[in-house]
Amino acid sequence: MCERPVYVNAVLGQPDATRRALAKMTSILSHLSAVLFILLALSWACSTAPSEPQHPGDNASQEQLNKYYADLWQYITFVTRPRFGKRWDDFGIENNHSL
The pLDDT profile of the chain, 99 residues, written as one tens digit per residue, is 566 665 555 555 667 778 788 888 888 888 999 999 998 888 776 666 778 899 999 999 999 999 999 999 999 988 887 766 666 555 555 555 555
Q: How far apart are CA 83 and CA 88, in angstroms?
A: 9
DSSP code string of 12-42: T-SBHHHHHHHHHHHHHHHHHHHHHHHHHHH
> What pLDDT is stored for residue 13 in this prediction?
60
For the entire predicted model, the pTM comes to 0.41
Which of 58, 56, 50, 82 shows the shortest CA–CA distance to 69? 56
